């Protein structure tokens, strides 16, 4: 009698303990949900009891960083984190039946996962890090998340570069399910998302996140409707570096070119100075070429700015050439006249010098002086020659000065007039150009940033 009793008692204990352990283990829950690696039905079918019920996929995207904006390739590389929720109507349980288990983490490969992709995605597949697990909640909610370095195409409008704001869309869509079977939605609002991204964002580089707007809509084309969820990310460039290394130096070069009108024409420095300025500008143009793509639809303002400055300095170099040519013409004719006068004078002086000894002998006076002079002939001659040279030099100088003051050549006067008129026009052009550029380009930026 005792043996069956003890057996029954043992069986009772075993039964109680086994029922307790089975209720609290994941195993019983998995068995209850028929979640086994061999159950492929759960991975194949969209998890709804009635096929006309659409699956609502809720998606949240948070931006962690803007890593790169490639103006040439028109792509934006960002670091994003997405989380998706949907309901699996077959996988529900009552937590109180299973010791209060209220979340079950299982491999991703065991469940149906909606095929949500990003339309603008051009990144390598290697950069996507799908979490290998999904979380399952008692009401059938499935949640999965993924980190991704996303390189997305974005039509960059560089007209206002570097004072530009770009808007890039990140659009989520299911390629295989139509809008009446898989619907996309979002759990958060635009403002929440923007503030969250702003808090989390670590790297922004030269960009500043302005806001993220959410568009949720159904797109119909060729009788096929797709549910789309678009995040419109607005980012603003921080322009100070470009201002410091590009715009200000270019403007400074233009001012230097204006100032070079004060350089004296005769020194010949003016032209070479202007050509140096032209060269510096072309170096900056080379840098610009590396920064911007050759989009032909609308020339960026910065390219217009560079081209106009280059053209202005180019024209001013041409003008300096014309002026120096005219002055050269004047100087040439003047020199010709001077040099002919000099030869005449030389002959005269030489003639008088040859006559001198004869006159001394004819007069016959001061013989000892003459002997004395004859004895020191070489030094005396040198002295005379020196004096002669100096007199000639003084005469030339006087002649040149007199000519310059009294009779400026007509070419030189023409050159001066051209110089003054050109300077006035040039100054006006530079001033109006600067004002235009400021209004169109920079003021617009400050107006935008104010809003």
Q: Least CB distance from residue 168 to ligand NAG, whole Å? A: 6
Q: Least CB distance from residue 220 to ligand NAG, whole Å? A: 13
Instruction: List b or e across 386-403, with b for residues whose CB sees 16 or more CB atoms inside 10 angstroms.
Output: eeeeeeeeeeeeeeeeee
Sole binder of ligand NAG in the list 9, 26, 215, 427 (CB under 6 A): 215
Q: Which CB, 28 or 167, lies closer to ligand NAG?
A: 167
Q: Which CB, 219 or 420, lies closer to ligand NAG?
A: 219
Q: Least CB distance from residue 233 to ligand NAG, whole Å? A: 9
Q: Least CB distance from residue 224 to ligand NAG, whole Å? A: 17
For Cα atoms 169, 175, 181, give the angle at the middle one, nearest 5 degrees. 110
Considering only residues 186 to 205 of the shown chain, the ones binding ligand NAG according to CB under 6 A are none
Considering only residues 230 to 269 of the shown chain, the ones binding ligand NAG according to CB under 6 A are 230, 232
Considering only residues 358 to 377 of the shown chain, the ones binding ligand NAG according to CB under 6 A are none
The C-alpha atoms of residue 445 and residue 433 are separated, in whole angstroms, by 18
Among 111, 143, 1, 144, CA closest to 45: 111
Residue 291, H or E segment: helix 269-291
Report how many residues bind ligand NAG under the rule CB under 6 A.
5
Does residue 167 belong to the site contacting ligand NAG (CB under 6 A)?
yes
Query: Before 410, cis peptide (omega within 30)?
Result: no
Sole binder of ligand NAG in the list 169, 186, 194, 316 (CB under 6 A): 169
Q: Which CB, 142 or 230, lies closer to ligand NAG?
A: 230
Report the first-to-last Cα separation within the chain, whole angstroms: 92
Q: Least CB distance from residue 444 to ligand NAG, whole Å? A: 19
What value does the CA radius of gyration of the chain take, rounded to a whole number of Å? Answer: 46
Q: Which CB, 215 or 438, lies closer to ligand NAG?
A: 215
Q: Which CB, 79 or 228, lies closer to ligand NAG?
A: 228
Q: Least CB distance from residue 119 to ligand NAG, whole Å? A: 10
- Which residues, including other chains, have CB under 8 Å from residue 296's CB and lie 6 or more apart? none
String of DSSP letters for 38-74: T-THHHHS-S-SSTTSPEEEEEEEEEEEEEEEETTTT
Does residue 143 belong to the site contacting ligand NAG (CB under 6 A)?
no
Does residue 329 belong to the site contacting ligand NAG (CB under 6 A)?
no
Provide the 10 A C-beta neighbour count for residue 429: 13
> Where on the chain is the footprint of ligand NAG (CB under 6 A)?
167, 169, 215, 230, 232
């Amino acid at each position: 009698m005792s043996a069956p009793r003890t057996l029954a008692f043992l069986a009772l204990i075993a039964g109680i303990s086994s029922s307790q352990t089975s209720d609290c283990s994941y195993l019983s829950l998995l068995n209850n949900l028929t979640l086994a690696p061999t159950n492929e039905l759960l991975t194949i079918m969209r998890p709804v009891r009635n096929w006309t019920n659409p699956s609502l996929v809720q998606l949240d995207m948070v931006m962690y960083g803007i890593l790169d904006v490639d103006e040439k390739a028109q792509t934006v590389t960002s670091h994003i984190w997405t989380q998706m929720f949907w309901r699996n109507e077959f996988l529900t349980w009552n937590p109180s039946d299973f010791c209060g288990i209220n979340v079950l983490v299982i491999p991703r490969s065991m469940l149906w996962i909606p095929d949500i992709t990003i339309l603008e995605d051009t990144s390598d597949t290697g950069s996507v890090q799908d979490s290998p697990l999904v979380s399952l909640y008692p009401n059938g909610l499935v949640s999965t998340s993924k980190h991704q370095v996303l390189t997305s195409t974005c039509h960059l409008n560089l007209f206002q570069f570097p004072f530009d704001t770009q808007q890039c869309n990140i659009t989520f869509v299911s390629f295989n399910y139509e809008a009446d079977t898989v619907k996309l939605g979002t759990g958060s609002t635009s403002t929440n998302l923007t503030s969250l991204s702003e808090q989390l964002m670590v790297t922004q580089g030269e960009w500043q996140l302005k806001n993220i707007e959410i568009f949720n809509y159904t797109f119909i084309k060729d009788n096929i409707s797709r549910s789309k969820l678009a995040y419109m990310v607005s980012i603003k460039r921080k322009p100070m570096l470009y201002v410091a290394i590009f715009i200000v130096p270019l403007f400074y070069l233009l001012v230097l070119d204006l100032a070079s009108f004060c350089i004296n024409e005769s020194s010949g420095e003016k032209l070479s100075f202007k050509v140096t300025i032209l060269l510096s500008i072309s170096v900056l143009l080379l840098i610009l070429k590396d920064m911007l793509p050759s989009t032909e639809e609308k020339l960026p303002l910065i390219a217009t700015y560079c081209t106009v400055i280059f053209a202005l300095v180019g024209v001013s170099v041409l003008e300096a050439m014309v002026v120096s040519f005219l002055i050269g013409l004047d100087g040439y004719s003047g020199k010709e006249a001077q040099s002919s006068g000099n030869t005449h004078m030389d002959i005269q002086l030489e003639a008088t010098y040859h006559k001198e000894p004869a006159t001394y002998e004819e007069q016959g006076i001061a013989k000892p002086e003459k002997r004395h002079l004859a004895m020191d002939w070489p030094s005396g001659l040198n002295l005379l020659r020196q004096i002669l040279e100096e007199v000639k030099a003084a005469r030339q100088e006087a002649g040149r000065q007199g000519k310059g003051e009294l009779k400026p050549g007509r070419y030189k006067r023409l050159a001066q007039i051209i110089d003054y008129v050109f300077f006035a026009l040039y100054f006006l052009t530079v001033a109006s150009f600067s004002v235009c550029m400021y209004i169109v380009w920079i003021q617009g930026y400050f107006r935008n940033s104010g809003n």
